[in-house]
């Protein structure tokens, strides 16, 4: 496994050598190669680490030989020497694995310090305090990392001295105090390790190097690798680099800069620096840093050098860079550069600008954007500065993004009536149910104490593009009392609260909100995305309103109209209940006839909104008991019995007879249509009559009728026949182009998709139910253990948010393959929550699906993710993934 | 498709020509070939039927040509002629498809009758009444079958005449009345069809033939074929056969006989006959038939002929035959022979006898038995004669076979206390729950008003081998009032009832019971079965008692010990509840320590009973809330709170927090062990300590530790590690041979069985859960629609009784294949209800599984089914299936 070359000077490598030199080593080599002023150094390869573990923690004799050779070269390049009485060399020793493992392994700075060198440095820098401070830091790190001494004991010693002298901050310590501290540290070191603090820099280096190799196998690192699927035989490299200091006087300094503005994306140099300071001082925020432009006045030559580097970096890396620099006695050093983090808005602007500047291709621009981050561009947000000043009352789950400010109400009725009076309201509920839909519509935000990311509230709110925080379990909800309490605070009806649906935070009071800006750059990049994309993007929409929004966001059709929400509307719920309580077919038909005109109106609205685009309409899916009052809603039952001219007892009996032990696996979906075909007949008739009616107005309706929860072809066949019969009866046959298809939600359907494909026109994976049944846990109940499961890495992500590719995904892949063997071009899509998840979209593209459908506000995200998947597949480019 | 030969004389065919001649035609040909005195005739092939439909219901001109040729041959053989003035030929025209479709298509008898022939026959038979009766039957059938006239109109005419003459039965009609009737029938015929009744026998024949071909496509036949998977392009043949009459005088007669006694299996001629009668008279039971031996006195020559035929039949068909004969003027005719139906007891005796007589091989003997019928031999039964006289009160589901008589009690407590006093009791419940287990043990039978074939009551009763009738939905159960009502009758505590668990019937009062007889023949045939069988048969047993019974029935190990039943026992349920209510790990461990000694005792008992045989023990599986009182059991909660020194409110809160929407898909199985490993640790420790303890007494324990509900290898790995750790801690490592494996219940586990197979020692399909999740319906809720589904043929059988081979079975096959690719010899079994279903056992054998496990009383059934599967696979013999 080991080659004979074990040590590389930075100038000998480049970024392609990540596996051998580790990420940091390859990056330092690349910067060096690019001609950037990087402090000199060398990298000991990952092969050495592998050999170290293979040979029982021993090194080849070659290693020390090559390392000494590298030290000699380093001394020559820097003009410094270990232990030199005039210009002593200090180095840092850092880990660096092929995959980023932030903070998991060890680092040692200021190596080369000893009792003599500290004095030399005090003299040459004329700064004894700096020399002593560097020495005490080195002793602590060496003791802790190499000798595994307890870091706390060192910190306690320092606290004692600070306490004795009545000071609080480290930088208030005087030279005298530091001198005392160094002596005490050396004593402590001896006490803890039974040896004197080692004075020979070469011995220090060898021992530090091996400590870094050992840290590859520390507990934290092992767990991190297991969770992140980093193979343990990759090993880490060790980087040895000349130390440079920005705190050696007023001609020194340190800073952080971005090649463009990471907040707005503006193509303008952006950064901060502090003179006579170390990197951590900039971050700590004790002194206020200067803007990078101000350096021009202080050190004009260095500033010009930085400006040149900015250009060079972008030309070399083809992306906005975030870099760290240090100035040591007017000499500029580059310590690190990496792709800079940026807001979604900046990401869009930078990507478009860079294409226009000829720095990157359109494909690269599309690949650059993080699809999930687009959410920020599509929803209201709190003003960033105002948010910094606010303290959240509590935090729930970020169930549906955006920001909302309004008066709290505690039931759907109040939400409607308050909204009718012009109030902005936030609906707070223990959990929502289908009866709350209208109240949710009337609210600007929804807050629930119970329920996860896929609870009713969360799903419906995302569908509406409405801000929602769910599962706020610190809240004790008192709906009847119209108040909630949280950590002692009481929030009453009418009180103003603010919800951040993007973070899950809940605030008392009002926080200023900024509107989303759909700038021209955003449109440009989405247009590029559409050029590359092959997967069609549809939307899940139950209303003309949602359909319109989604169409504006680029939806190419509706992938799922859920008809059950329509059944709950106050104008028709009575007829629905009448149907359920009917004693015979005739009674059911009579009640259904009352619902039919409403259904036809629903579909006319949706067809009109989607003129010319296909619309998948799912037949009634939920178990019938969902439409009845609950068994303990005595008052509702009594009212209903009067309305329907029956007795409360009879209604209670129906409720009891419809009770299910596992409603998820109960009498729902196409099972309803198989047993009560008249319900589906009514829906299909309403669809065809709606299509005919809008056609007369010149609108093109393309209904796709979807049978849910099919597990067996023999459930489907008679229902498809029913549909064709109604098409004839209504006169739609030959006039309206329609198709009939099925959802794939039941594992049995996926397993027999070849049999289904022979008969159906299209298939659509209902991945929520498919996940529930394939993994054997219901999304409502899994909250009890799924958190623990994700924490333990049993599932990498919540499988209700991102498709479990190794399980559910395997089944989907199998089903697509089987179906395409029978009917090559069959339309296969996905609807449900997963359709808007970028990783899932990529997976759907890769297994050869035709379309995905997601909530309106996720349509742009899905478009982008689909484009990225297509580009990656075409170019085999998985670099992107690796760089994350 | 058609060959040039369209018509076969009976003597030209044989039984191998079923596809061409149909079942009946091939059978008549075979009997003819065997030299049996079959009335002469010919068969028009199924090819003619196919061509008829392919050519728009037209025949090739060849057909009439060949049919006339066949008629001429028939006339020559019989010495009779159509329309002959001395000896006129009458024939029957019958359908006969390659697959049996009883009663689905049409038949016409007495064809050839007309106004002249009726007189000729009246003269030659000297029996005008007979001639007229035959003619009026022919007219009715022809009108109905050929002309599609309403049969009721003919029957009404006959009723009128009977009413006018004040008689009730057909055979009371005089010659005069029949003469009048024939005239009226001919008038009615003309009125209904606008033609005179056709007098030309050849025209009659052609029209009857085509009517039979048309009946292939009648609604009944089409539905029957769809439900029974008979391809509609097979077509039917038409058989034309000389009529013979047993009612032409005292030298004529008719009878039915079996070559051996179908009730006991005794090798003795067995049958009944009536002189001067038609077949339907024997069946109708109006006259009491004579025993076949008595024929020796009446017609000694014919009797001897019959005795010879009996021997010939068995020599030819190698099975006990059930045949029909007619004697026309002292001449014997064979009308039909087929394998005779028999009791299970007879089946066993006949099979063993025939092997001893050299008639069949052991393989054939084993294949002959219907595995499901063995149930009769393994349980108590009601006395057949007594049963005939009893009228059931109601009928439920035959949930667990056997017969039980006892006094009704309405709760488990009473069952125990009454049984302790020596009473035989039947436990009647709305539905049973785990708390009823001890009460069920104390009862001789169980009756529930709710729940299906796989309800708690049914599963547990079958496990105990106890008679159970479940889902008696006509019963209104009043447990509190200690009574039930059914159709107006009230049954109170202490009343005696009788349950037939094999039919589901419930009787008020006591019916005599006979004990099962496990005769020597039964043992012999099971020994043969074991010689051929390759699949291992295990049992599901939770107690040493069940384990012992199963071992006596031939179980080769335990495939499933459910540990949860043990948790419900009154001695430990308190500690179980204490564990669930504990606030922290320490509290849980304290409670578990109380349960551990009991668990160890449980396992010691089972290991002792199964000395030397492997025992799969499943870790705790059900959701924890099952062990707590229900939320409305106020009294129980209060008692529990006192016992555990807590408040009712806290218990209520725990119950509420454990509530699940879909408990099937909830927090159970290995999910419990992942979150609370201490529970599994306790169980594993109890297993190893039990094994060590019995080892000290010279007993060989072979524990196989099973992790339930695994869906992801990452759930399994740490639990296997836990097991190995406990093996070391208890000192079992190296001393006790143990294995660790998993159930395959979650579709995801089946889909990734290759990944699992790398780590597990064994796998066992939990097909109940696998079916629920793969098909997406819970067995408790599916009752609402599954009946309708089976009725509509969506599932051929209840998938909870017989594996759904086209769905769930596909997944199992896939999983076995994947697992064996990774670990060729891995033990793969099945436990749960399906393990005792013969079709499922055959399927398990065919997909390469290693073992099946079933309830103790089904072990012999599974042994036999496994042997049959092995024989069929070896010989490729699927004839058996076809003959059914």
Q: Which residue of B has its CA nearest to A755?
A: B806
Taking an 8 Å cut-off on Cβ atoms, the answer to whether A747 and B746 are in contact is no
Residue with the larger pLDDT of the pair A378 and B6:
B6
Mean pLDDT of chain B: 91
Cβ of B665 within 8 Å of Cβ of A777? The answer is yes
Residue-level pLDDT at A2:
46
| Nearest-CB residue to B807 (from A660, A752, A777) | A752
Distance from CA of B664 to the nearest CA of A (A): 7
Question: Which is nearest to A567 in space by CA: A576, A580, A554, A578?
Answer: A576
Token pair of B777 as six digits: 């319906």
Contact A114, A134 (CB under 8 A): no
pLDDT in tens, B785-828: 888 898 888 998 889 989 999 999 999 999 999 999 999 999 99
What is the three-class DSSP state of A431?
Answer: coil
CB atoms within 10 A of CB A33: 16
Contact B773 A777 (CB under 8 A): no
pLDDT at B1 exceeding the cut of 90:
no
Intra-chain end-to-end CA distance of chain B, in Å: 27
Instruction: Note whether A748 contacts B775, CB cutoff 8 Å.
Output: yes
Enter the DSSP assignment of A266: -
Which H or E element spans position A270? strand A270-275
What pLDDT band is residue B738 in, cutting at 50, 70 and 90?
very high
Residues A326-358: pLDDT tens digits?
999 999 999 989 888 888 888 999 999 999 999
Q: What is the pLDDT of residue A276?
A: 87
* Averaged pLDDT for residues A59-69: 95
Q: Do B662 and A778 touch (CB under 8 A)?
A: yes
Tokens, residue A433: 């149910």
The secondary element (H helix, E strand) that includes residue B23 is helix B18-33
Residue A475 has pLDDT above 50, yes or no: yes
Q: Is the dihedral of CA B524, B525, B527, B531 positive or negative?
A: positive
* pLDDT computed for residue B879 by the predictor: 45
* Nearest Cβ partner for B662 among A780, A792, A793: A780
List CB contacts (< 8 A) between B797 and chain A: none
Q: Kind and range of the H or E element at B400?
A: strand B397-400
Facing residue for B781 by CB, picked from A667, A751, A773: A667
Residue scoring higher pLDDT (A630 or B884): A630
Residue A715 has its nearest CB partner, among B671, B769, B794, at B794
Closest-CA distance of chain B to residue A443, Å: 28
b (16+ CB within 10 A) / e for A692-708: bbbeeeebebbbbbbbb
Q: How confident is the model at residue B882 (pLDDT cuts 50, 70, 90)?
A: very low
Q: Chain B window 791-820: which residues touch A at a Cβ cutoff of 8 Å?
A: 792-795, 804, 806-808, 810-811
Predicted confidence at residue A806, as pLDDT, reads: 95
Strand, coil or helix: B165: coil
Q: At what angle do helices B128-141 and B151-164 cross, to 10 degrees?
A: 150
CA B756 – CA B748 distance, rounded (Å): 11
Task: Record the tokens describing residue A405, joined without a space.
Answer: 């400010």
pLDDT in tens, A271-312: 989 998 877 666 555 577 889 999 999 999 999 999 999 999
Q: What is the pLDDT of residue A284?
A: 56
List the alpha helices (DSSP H) in B631-669. 634-643, 648-657
Tell me if B208 sits within 8 A of B146, measured CB to CB: yes
- Distance in Å, alpha carbon of B784 to nearest chain A alpha carbon: 7
To the nearest whole Å, the CA of B401 is away from the closest chain A CA by: 27
pLDDT over 90 at B502, yes or no: no
Chain A residues with CB inside 8 Å of B746's CB? 774-776
CB contact under 8 A, A781 and B674: no
Q: What is the pLDDT of residue A438?
A: 85
Instruction: Count Cβ atoms within 10 A of the Cβ of residue B670 and give its class: 0-12 exposed, 13-18 middle, 19 or more buried.
Output: buried
Instruction: List, for residues A727-745, the tens digit of each pLDDT value.
Output: 999 999 999 999 999 999 9
Instruction: Report ipTM (2 d.p.).
Output: 0.79
Say if residue A65's pLDDT is above 80. yes
* CA closest to A717 among chain B residues: B794
A747, B665: Cβ pair inside 8 Å?
no
Q: What is the pLDDT of residue B187?
A: 96
If one compares B382 and A725, the residue with the highest pLDDT of the two is A725
Whose structure tokens read 């039943």? B565
Tens digits of per-residue pLDDT, A559-590? 999 998 888 888 889 999 999 999 899 999 99
Separation of alpha carbons A660 and A672, rounded Å: 14
Nearest residue of B to residue A753 by CA position? B807
Residue A540: its pLDDT value, please? 95
Q: What is the CA radius of gyration of chain A?
A: 33
Q: How far is CA A413 from CA A370, A410, A440, in A?
A: 40, 9, 10
- The two beta strands, B739-744 and B702-707, are parallel
Q: Quote the CA–CA distance of B292 and B295 in Å, as a whole number.
A: 6
Give the active site residues of A: 456, 831
Q: Determine what percent of chain A is predicted with pLDDT higher than 70.
A: 98
Q: What is the reported pLDDT for B458?
A: 85
Residues 627-686 of B with CB under 8 A from A: 660-667, 671, 674-675
Interatomic CA distance for residues B707 and B723, integer angstroms:
10
Per-residue pLDDT, A884? 35
pLDDT of residue A657: 86
Q: Residue A822, class by beta-carbon neighbours within 10 Å (0-12 exposed, 13-18 middle, 19+ buried)?
A: middle
Taking only the tens place, the pLDDT of each residue in B694-717 is 999 999 999 999 999 999 999 999
Confidence of residue A517 (pLDDT cuts 50, 70, 90): low
Q: Treating both helix axes as pointing N-terminal to C-terminal, what angle do B859-875 and B838-846 enclose, rounded to 10 degrees?
A: 50
Q: Which among A751, A783, A814 is the top mutation candidate for probing chain B, defined by the most B β-carbons within 10 Å of its own β-carbon? A: A751
Nearest by CB to residue B807, choosing from A671, A675, A751, is: A751
Output the average pLDDT for chain A: 92
Q: Is the pLDDT of residue B61 over 70?
A: yes
Interface size, chain A vs chain B, as Cβ–Cβ contacts under 8 Å: 162
* pLDDT tens profile B520-550: 899 999 999 999 999 999 999 999 999 998 9
Whole-number Å distance between alpha carbons of B567 and B602:
11
Nearest CA in chain A to B791: A675
Mutation pick from B748, B755, B772, B811 vs chain A, by most beta carbons of A within 10 Å, is B748
Query: Considering only CA atoms, which of B615, B602, B579, B633 is closest in space to residue B435?
Result: B633
- Contacts B430 to A, Cβ<8 Å: none
Q: What is the pLDDT, as a whole number, of residue A283?
A: 58
Q: Which residues of B touch A785 (CB under 8 A)?
A: 667, 671, 674-675
Question: Which has the minimum average pLDDT: A124-128, A426-430, A528-532?
Answer: A124-128
Give mean pLDDT, residues B347-353: 95
CA distance B659 to chain A (A): 9
Chain segment A20-44, per-residue pLDDT in tens: 999 999 999 999 999 999 999 999 9
Q: Does A777 touch chain B if contact means CB atoms closer than 8 Å? A: yes
A824: Cβ–Cβ under 8 A, 6 or more apart, which residues?
Answer: none
Q: Is A781 on the interface with B (CB under 8 A)?
A: yes
Residue B288 pLDDT grade (very low, low, confident, very high; cuts 50, 70, 90) = confident
Helix or strand holding residue B409 (H, E): strand B403-409
Q: How far is A774 from chain B (nearest CA, A)?
A: 5
Q: Look at residue B452 and tell me whether its pLDDT is greater than 60.
A: yes
pLDDT of residue B792: 84
Which pLDDT belongs to residue B2? 46
Lowest model confidence (mean pLDDT) among A117-121, A165-169, A421-425: A165-169
B408 backbone dihedrals φ, ψ, rounded to 5°: -75, 135
For residues B881 and A799, the model is more confident at: A799
Query: Which residues in chain A are closer than 8 Å to B752, comparing Cβ atoms?
Result: 806-807, 810
- A678 vs A692: CA distance, rounded Å: 21
- What's the predicted TM-score (pTM) here? 0.80
Give the pLDDT confidence of A90-145 residue by residue, as tens digits. 999 999 999 888 777 888 999 999 999 999 999 988 889 999 999 999 999 999 99
The partner residues of A763 in beta bridges, in order of sequence, read A742, A828
The whole-number pLDDT of residue A526 equals 94
Residue of A450, A665, A765 for testing the chain B interface, max B β-carbons within 10 Å: A665
* Nearest alpha-carbon partner for A397 in A441, A461, A447: A447
Span B493-514, mean pLDDT? 93
Those residues with Cβ within 8 angstroms of residue B98's Cβ, 6 or more apart along the chain or in another chain: B18, B19, B22, B23, B46, B234
Residue B124 contacts A where some CB pair is shorter than 8 Å: no
Mean pLDDT over residues B258-274, rounded? 91
Measured in angstroms, the CA of B828 and the nearest CA of chain A are apart by 21
Mean pLDDT of the region A635-654: 89
Check whether B377 has a pLDDT greater than 90. no
Of A662, A712, A789, the CB nearest to B663: A662
């Amino acid at each position: 496994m080991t080659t004979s070359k074990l040590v590389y000077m930075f100038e000998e490598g480049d970024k392609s050598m990540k596996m051998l030199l580790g990420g940091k080593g390859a990056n330092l080599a690349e910067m060096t190669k690019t001609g950037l002023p990087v402090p000199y150094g060398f990298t000991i390869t990952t092969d050495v680490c592998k050999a170290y573990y293979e040979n029982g923690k021993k090194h080849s004799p070659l290693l020390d030989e090559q390392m000494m050779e590298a030290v000699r070269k380093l001394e020559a390049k820097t003009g410094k020497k270990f232990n030199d009485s005039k210009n002593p060399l200090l180095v840092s020793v850092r880990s660096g694995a092929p995959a980023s493992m932030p903070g998991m392994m060890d680092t040692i700075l200021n190596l080369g310090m000893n009792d003599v060198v500290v004095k030399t440095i005090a003299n040459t820098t004329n700064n004894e305090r700096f020399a002593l401070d560097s020495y005490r830091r080195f002793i602590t790190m060496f003791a802790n990392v190499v000798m595994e001494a307890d870091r706390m004991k060192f910190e306690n010693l320092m606290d004692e001295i600070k306490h004795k002298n009545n000071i609080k901050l480290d930088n208030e310590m005087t030279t005298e105090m530091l001198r005392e501290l160094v002596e005490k540290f050396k004593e402590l070191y001896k006490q803890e390790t039974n040896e004197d603090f080692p004075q020979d820099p070469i011995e220090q280096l060898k021992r530090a190097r091996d400590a870094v190799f050992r840290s590859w196998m520390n507990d934290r690192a092992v767990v991190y690798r297991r969770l992140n699927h980093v193979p343990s035989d990759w090993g880490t490299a060790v980087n040895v680099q000349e130390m440079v200091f920005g705190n050696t006087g007023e001609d020194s300094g340190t800073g952080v800069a971005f090649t463009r503005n990471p907040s707005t994306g503006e193509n303008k140099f952006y950064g901060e620096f502090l003179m006579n300071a170390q990197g951590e001082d900039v971050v700590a925020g004790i002194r206020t840093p200067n803007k990078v432009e101000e350096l021009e006045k202080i050190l004009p030559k260095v500033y010009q050098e930085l400006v040149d580097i900015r250009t060079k970096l972008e030309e070399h890396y083809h992306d906005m860079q975030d870099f760290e620099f240090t100035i040591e006695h007017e000499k500029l050093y580059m310590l690190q550069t990496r792709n800079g983090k940026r807001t979604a808005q900046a990401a869009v602007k930078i990507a478009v600008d860079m294409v226009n500047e000829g720095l990157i291709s359109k494909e690269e621009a599309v690949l650059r954007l993080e699809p999930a981050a687009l959410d920020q561009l599509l929803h209201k947000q709190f003003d960033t500065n105002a948010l910094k000043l606010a303290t959240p009352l509590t935090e729930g789950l970020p169930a549906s993004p955006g920001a909302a400010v309004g008066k709290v109400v505690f039931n759907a009725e109040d939400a409607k009536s308050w909204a009718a009076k012009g109030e902005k309201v936030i609906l707070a509920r223990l959990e929502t149910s289908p009866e709350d839909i209208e109240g949710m519509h009337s609210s600007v935000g929804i807050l629930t104490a119970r329920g996860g990311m896929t609870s009713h509230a969360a799903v419906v709110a995302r569908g509406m593009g409405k801000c929602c925080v769910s599962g706020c379990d610190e809240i004790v909800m008192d709906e009847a009392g119209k108040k909630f309490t949280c950590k002692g605070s009481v929030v009453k009806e009418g009180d103003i609260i603010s919800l951040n649906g993007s973070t899950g935070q809940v605030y008392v009071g009002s926080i200023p909100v900024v509107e989303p800006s759909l700038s021209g750059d955003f449109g440009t990049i989405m247009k590029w995305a559409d050029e590359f994309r092959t997967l069609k993007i549809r939307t899940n929409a139950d209303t003309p309103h949602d359909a319109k929004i989604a169409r504006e966001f680029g939806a190419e059709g509706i992938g799922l109209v859920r008809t059950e929400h329509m059944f709950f509307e106050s104008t028709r719920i009575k007829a629905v209940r009448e149907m359920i309580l009917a004693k015979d077919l005739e009674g059911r038909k009579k009640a259904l006839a009352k619902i039919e005109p409403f259904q036809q109106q629903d579909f006319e609205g949706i067809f009109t909104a989607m003129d010319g685009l296909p619309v998948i309409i799912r037949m009634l899916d939920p178990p019938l008991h969902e439409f009845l009052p609950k068994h303990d809603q005595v008052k509702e039952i009594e009212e209903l019995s009067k309305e329907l001219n029956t007795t409360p007892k009879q209604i209670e009996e129906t409720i009891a007879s419809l009770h299910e032990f596992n409603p998820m696996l109960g009498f729902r979906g196409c099972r309803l249509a198989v047993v009560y075909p008249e319900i589906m007949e009514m829906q299909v008739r309403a669809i065809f009559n709606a299509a005919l009616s809008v056609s007369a107005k010149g609108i093109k309706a393309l209904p796709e009728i979807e049978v849910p929860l099919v597990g067996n072809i023999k459930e489907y066949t008679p229902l498809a026949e029913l549909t064709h019969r109604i098409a004839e009866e209504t006169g739609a046959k030959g006039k309206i182009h329609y198709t009939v298809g099925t959802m794939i939600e039941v594992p049995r359907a996926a397993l027999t998709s070849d049999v289904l494909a022979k008969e159906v026109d299209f298939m659509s994976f209902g991945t929520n139910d498919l996940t529930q049944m394939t993994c054997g846990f219901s999304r409502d109940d899994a909250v009890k253990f799924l958190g623990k499961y994700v924490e333990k890495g049993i599932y990498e992500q919540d499988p209700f948010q991102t498709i479990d590719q190794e399980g559910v995904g395997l089944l989907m892949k199998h089903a697509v393959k089987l179906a395409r063997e029978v009917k090559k071009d069959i339309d296969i899509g996905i609807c449900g929550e997963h359709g808007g998840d970028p990783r899932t979209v990529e997976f759907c593209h890769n297994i050869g699906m035709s379309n995905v459908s997601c909530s309106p506000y996720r349509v742009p995200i899905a478009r982008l993710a689909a484009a990225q998947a297509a580009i990656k597949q075409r170019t085999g480019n998985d670099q992107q993934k690796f760089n994350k």
